[in-house]
Structures are given as structure tokens and as C-alpha cells.
Structure 1
Amino acid sequence: MHVTRDWAKGSSMQNIMLKRLHAAGILEADDRPLAIDLTPSHQGEVHSNAWYSSINALAAALFDRPYDLAVDAYVYKINAPGNRAQSVQVFDANKRSHTIRAKNVVVSASTLETPRLLLNSGIPGPAIGHFLTGHVSMIGIGTISRRQFSDRIGNLSILKFETEEDPYQIQILGPNQYWSYQQFEDRVPTDQLFVVFATFGRVQPRRENRVYVDPNDRDEFGVPWQQVQYSLSDRDRQTAKQVEEGIRRSARAMGVTLDESSLVLRPPGADMHEASTCRMGDDPNTSATNRHGQIHGVQGLFVADNSVLPSLTGAWAVISGTALVIRLADHIVRQSRQYFEM
């Protein structure tokens, strides 16, 4: 995944802003780690796809061995007779049903779609769909004069890490929309540069926040849609206030003029970081899967996406989710070897 803190290395804006934050006592601010491949291509090695995506694993897997990939296939049911995963049923683009058999079924359909598929398949588990968790999220926007930095202004990519006292993180990005691109574009520099404060705070996992299905509301394939029940607790709203004050404090320290009208709590789901609807755990009453992502009591049925995370910190979960998938793959391989050695 090539996680590195070197993305903004050499940027005068990055260096100056970090020094200002540290001088103001915000010591948890640092170069933002990014999953990005900064290795140059050489001697037949290709490193042109810099930004990490889990979809890259599909291409890389072909170098290991061939596999079948069903495109435009809509999975609508998991068959697990006798509490043993056996197959999945899918519709093709013409709405014809097909059965795909497998020794193991790994569901990785997202925090909202995975419980929908499990519930519509009648998979047992009192915690499936419950404990839906997201972030309290706010986007602050401010401006700063370009004259405060050298001509080699570079990128701004700072992360204020969360702490026990501040249960949120702030991604401080700029200038303007160019934080994710090197400065190779021809454009007229403006005197006022935009700085973005993207914040994500912890939300308390609660059973009543959930995904469920309504048999009376069905999609074009006749499969019940998922419904969402979600609200913030008083504790979550207190975290939102801390997030707002954290943006103000960081902006003051950096000399950024903050647009107060931008400080609006985003609606639930706007951050697209949902998790925990099939969370891991030892107790089937409060978790849907065991520590390996296997649905409690159902052999060969696993979940491998953000829905298995027991809770969320203030951080994004993409890399954590990828690590869990790799861990699950290793577990299934070990189980298979033990089976054949018996």
C-alpha cells in the first residue's frame, strides 16, 4: 500500500504551517500519511498508478493465478443449508437467475449492502445490521495570503491526529484543490489561497442505529431494500462541538482566516465512512462475526468490509479494511491446508 508521509516533502507551505501549529501547542499535527506509491518506474517496474485502491488487487491477482469474474452480476441470496455456506444466487443483466457454488463465501458489499444481503438470505444473527456507526463530520474553509510562502509553495497535507482528549482528526489540505496534485499546471497564482479543514470525529456505537430490510419496499429485481435508522447521541453532539472548536484553534494557529459560515455539521452518511453493521466479537448478541470475520454459527460464510469493524476511531477505515481482507484470506488458506492435511 506504500503508506508514506513524504507527499508534501519540500513544500514551504507545509513546513511553515506545521511550525505554527506546533508553536501553538498542537503537537499532534504532523505530515499526513497517505497510501501512495512515490517510487519512480525503472528497469521494467511500473509505478504509474500512484494512488492506492483496493481494486488494484484484482489485477495483481491475475499474476498469481487465473480466476473467474462475473460482471454485471447482482447477488441477491446466500444459500447456507444446515448453517454451511454452499452457494450464492445472482441475477444477470437480463434478470435471469444463476447459482454460483463455492466452498467459502466472502461478502464484501459495503456496510449498508452486506447486512441487506445477509438479512434477505435469512442468515441467523441478532446483531446483523445493528451498531451502524459513522463519523461526526465538518468541513471548514479558510483563506491565507500566498505572500507568506516562497515560490516553491508546494502542497499542504497535514493531519492533526486524534487523542483521548480530542476524539477527532483534522485533515488540513491545500492550497485550493491542488493538495492532491503536484504543481505542474500553468495557472495565474491568486493572492488568497484556500485551506480546507476536513474533520471526522468518533461516534458512539449504539445498537439502535441499524440497517434493516422492508419486505414492502423492493428494488427492480424484487429484492427488499435496506432501510436505515440512525441518530446522534448527546455524547456524539458534544464531540461535534469539540470538532468545531478544533477547526477554529487550528486556523488561528496557522494564520488562516476562517469562513465561519462553512462550519456546519454534515448530515449522517455524508462522509461515506459507515461501519460496524456486521461487527466482530465473541458474543453473538452484540456481534455478527467472530474475530476472523466468519458469521457466528455459519461455516464458510465470511464478511470482509468496513461492516466488520467493531467501532470507528476518527480515522478513515480504508487501509484497516484492506488489512482485514488480507488477514481473512490468510485464515481461509490456513483452514484449507488443515482440511487437506487431515
Structure 2
Amino acid sequence: MMVYLPTIPTSKSGIPPVCYPEMPENYLDYWIPTTPIEKMATEEYDVLIVGSGAGGSAALYRMCEQWKGKGKKIGIIEAGGLLLPTHAQNISTLEVERFQRYFLNPKISTPIGWELPQFPGARLVFALGGRTLFWSAVCPRMNEMEFELGDWPISYKELLSYYNNVEKVLSVTQEFTKDSQITDILLERLRENGFPQATPVPIATDISQAKFGKVGSDVFFSSIDFFARSLNLSPFDLAIYSRAVQVYVENNKATGVKVLTWGGKTYKVRAKNIILSTSTLETPRILLNSGIEGKAIGHYLVNHSFLEVNGNFDRSEFPENFGNLGILVPQAEEDSYQLQMYGRGGTFFYHERRIPLRDKVPFYLQGFGKVEPQFKNRVTLHPTKKDYFGIPKIHVDFSYSEKDIKLINMIQQKMEDSLVVMKGKKEEEICLRPPGLDYHEMGTCRMGHNSETSVTNKYGQVHNISGLFIADNSVLPHSGAANPTLTMMALAFHTADYISKR
């Protein structure tokens, strides 16, 4: 094997001298450039992004794209550190079971739901890339009908070009299961028996053929890909282990953020524009801790009602090399639910595991339901409990409405019906998972026209505060039934364009 190395100078004797490059002790963390928060505190940024998950990284990429070569100063801070340089499923040793055990480790993801009795499934990742390091990468668009409801300040038509742009960047494709016998057979059974909208799952994965030396090391998309693209467009400063806890506001204008480090130091990072992208649960905490007024801040918390079941198919129903399984039954206009089906044991992700002919074919079926926005479902600051930084922890009030319960029962029946037509057998009963376990929480800083019932306008700008924007799931006024990430990224692009063109 030939390895290309730089030219090494030789001594007078012709024998190369032994040279060891000087490297800092933490050189393994240098796969992405970082900037000390102390240095960032000496700058004033044209835009400062708080949070590096799906929304923050999307906003960063779009700002770098729009401001390329214009000399603008862009900064981004992350409360956690460097965990993984790619989606966990791009690491070949993390097959499905190891992947799940890795993600569920409390050192990796923070199970904040343990302290939230009404929202016990909630879990956050404090690390560069956030939960996109572990997400399913399933990327359906929100049903167009949702945008026609009165609470949306932006139309589907306005967002269409952003959907197209994000899908292109994420390489969203339905060909992940192309030529898969098991997917094709089950799709035919669904479409002919009551589920005509069934389709191969749209997933953010680059399955294009490598040609002409192009490096495509990431199959499954994560926020790290946005960072990689941004590095090639425009300079930006990135500080890790820097937690924003407060927004400074002067004369109804955001001027900077208060940042605390894990070492206990406090800094102010100044910026002309601030984009909060810290999650549906964390973003309202920052606003409330900043004393920012707004009747809707923290309210209208929604998620997806989440049902699941494990089962199996008769192995003899399919050919020997049947491929991977990925099916989506998207939300239809008359039904506010969505079904997703994957294979278990390596029949969705690319880690190969042969299933002998004598065995059953395992599957995993999910059902997601739209949840009604209710003012009483909310995130507030806890009156007594504080976190490591001395900042009030969050408290969550959440319950399903009668309308939600009715839909949950309908989804259960639809899941039963789909199993019958696909000839699948349950290994257990269909169960409703605890609120928050879907990881699709939304709505606590919803966008809208009315400042009495919303927190931001159509561009994600907080009502009555110039220069303060939000770009995460919290701005979605309705959950719909589709996975929210693609829609949220499209809105983050929209917000970045508004800032860059002002």
C-alpha cells in the first residue's frame, strides 16, 4: 500500500533526520477548528448562533453561503463538546444494538425526562451536532394542509424553494430501499389494501456512487456535514463547552448573550443578530431566564403521540437476499397520523446481518399522531431547582387532550390493519410510548402573526425585539404528523436569508 507523505529534508550524510511534529495534548480534537470563548468575548459578531444541532448548523451553513466573501463575522457556540465527527451510523462498529446502547448512555445523552413526570421520555444531547448524531434521518415534508391552518404565518408555497434546497443539501432520497424485495412486496400489499399513500422512506443519506476522487465518507447526514460545508464557504468562530444562559437586550434590541463555561467563568459575547437554536425545551428557558416578556413563551408544547410494536414476518414469504426495509405511510389530508416501518437487526441501516431462511424476519412499526396545541402544555422555570450553572431547571406541564386520545386509538387500529394486510405478526401488543420519547417536541416559541399567541414572526424574529431570532423546533406552531426536522431546517434557511438580506 502506498502512503503519500510530505518531502522530508535530509542531512549532509543523506540520512533523513528524525523529526517529530509538535502536537498539543488534545490534538485528537482538532478535526474541526475551535475558538476559545475568551477570544469570542472580545469580538462583536454580525450573527451569533447558539446551538449546533439541526437548526443551528442549518442556519450557520446558510449564513456562510449567503455571506461568502463579504467579510461578515459569524460565530456559533455549543454548550457541549466534541463527541462524534459524523452520524453514529457511519461508524461501522456501531451496529443497531451497540448504536442504541451508546446513545442511551447518560454520559452521551441527558435523560432530562427523569425529572419531568409529565414528559418522562425527553432526552437531549449536549455535543457538537446535537441529536442529529443519532437521528433516524427520515425526512418527510409536512403535509401542505397544515400550512393552511390559521396559526401558520408562512405558506407552503413560500417554503417550497427552501424545502427543495434543504433536500438537495441533505441528499434526501427514496432510493435507499431501491430494488429491495421486502420493501417492494410490503408496499404492494399496503397500497392495494387501504394504504394507497404508502411510499419508500425518504431519508437523508448519500448513496451516490463515488467518482473522480470525490470524498463521500458520510452516508447518513448529521449537522457535522453542515459544518464541513460551512468551513469551505466562509470563516466562522466556534466555541464549545460554552453555555448561553441569557440574552442581553437594550432598548428592545438584542446585543449579546451571557455565556457560562464548565469552569465557572462568565463571558458576554456581543452580536448584532442572535439566533437561538438550543431546542424546544432549552430555548424558552433562555428567554424566560432573560426576563423577555411574551404570553406565549414556553406555552403550546406539542410532540407526536408515539405508538410502537415489534413483530416478524414469515421468512419464506421473501427471497433469500431481500434487502433493507424502510416504509413510510405519510399523513393524508383526512388523517392526522403517519406510520413508519423499519427492519430490526440490521435490515434498515447498512450493517449487514444475514437472516437464515429458517428464521423469522423482524420488523419495527411506529405510529405518530398530531397533537393539539394547548396553552396549558408548557415549559416554565422551576421555582426551586437549579442546574450545575446555577440557572433554574425547567418544569414541564403536559397532557393529551380528548382529541389526542381519540386519534391515538385510531392510530392503534390503523397499525393493526396495516399488519393484517402485510401479513405481519406482533411479538407484543401495540403500546403508547411516554411523552417526549419521540424526540419531536415542538411549539414552545411558535411563530405567528399575533404576539399574544406566538413568540416569533414568519422569519423567526422574536416579537418586539430586534436582532433576536429562533431557529429550532420550538417555532413550529403545529406538529402535523411528519418528522419535524426537514421543515425546521427549511425555516432556518428562511431565517438566515432574512438576516443576510437586511
TM-score where L is the length of structure 2: 0.65
Could you tell me which amino acid in structure 2 is paired with residue 195 of structure 1? F
1:294 touches 1:301 (CA, 8 Å); kept in 2?
Answer: yes
1:263 is matched with which residue: 427, 430, 438? 430
What is the distance in 1 between the residues matched to 2:189 and 2:195? 9
Runs of at least 5 residues in structure 2 that lack an aligned partner in the other structure: 1-169
Q: What RMSD in Å do the two structures reach over aligned CA positions?
A: 1.4
1:315-334 counterparts in 2 under 5 A? Answer: 315-334=482-501
Aligned to 1:158: 327
1:249, CA displacement in angstroms?
0.4
Could you tell me which amino acid in structure 2 is paired with residue 305 of structure 1? D
Aligned to 2:235: 66
What is the distance in 2 between the residues matched to 1:171 and 1:306? 21
1:194 paired to 2:362 = yes
Runs of at least 5 residues in structure 1 that lack an aligned partner in the other structure: 336-342
Could you tell me which amino acid in structure 2 is paired with residue 197 of structure 1? L
Aligned to 2:440: 273
1:190-229 counterparts in 2 under 5 A? Answer: 191-229=359-397
1:18 paired to 2:175 = no
Q: Deviations over 1:171-214 (max 9, x none)?
A: 0111x232332364466565211111111100001111000112
Could you tell me which amino acid in structure 1 is paired with residue 465 of structure 2? V
2:347 touches 2:353 (CA, 8 Å); kept in 1?
Answer: no
SS in 1 for 2:189: helix
2:470 is matched with which residue: 283, 303, 309? 303
What is the distance in 1 between the residues matched to 2:469 and 2:357? 52
Could you tell me which amino acid in structure 2 is paired with residue 256 of structure 1? G
What is the distance in 1 between the residues matched to 2:375 and 2:329? 30
1:25, CA displacement in angstroms?
2.5
Aligned to 2:119: none
What is the distance in 1 between the residues matched to 2:453 and 2:190? 41
1:23, CA displacement in angstroms?
2.0
Could you tell me which amino acid in structure 2 is paired with residue 274 of structure 1? E
1:47, CA displacement in angstroms?
1.9
Aligned length: 333
Runs of 4+ residues deviating >6 angstroms: none
1:51 paired to 2:220 = yes
SS in 2 for 1:85: strand
Q: Deviations over 1:104-125 (max 9, x none)?
A: 0100000000000000001121
What is the distance in 1 between the residues matched to 2:385 and 2:342? 41
1:248 touches 1:258 (CA, 8 Å); kept in 2?
Answer: no
What is the distance in 2 between the residues matched to 1:140 and 1:298? 46
Could you tell me which amino acid in structure 2 is paired with residue 4 of structure 1? T
Could you tell me which amino acid in structure 2 is paired with residue 210 of structure 1? R
Q: Deviations over 1:85-136 (max 9, x none)?
A: 0010111221110110000010000000000000000112111100000011
2:180 touches 2:324 (CA, 8 Å); kept in 1?
Answer: yes
1:242 is matched with which residue: 400, 410, 433? 410
1:130 touches 1:210 (CA, 8 Å); kept in 2?
Answer: yes
2:445 touches 2:454 (CA, 8 Å); kept in 1?
Answer: yes
What is the distance in 1 between the residues matched to 2:262 and 2:383? 23
Could you tell me which amino acid in structure 1 is paired with residue 492 of structure 2? V
What is the distance in 2 between the residues matched to 1:309 and 1:118? 17
| Aligned-residue identity in percent | 37
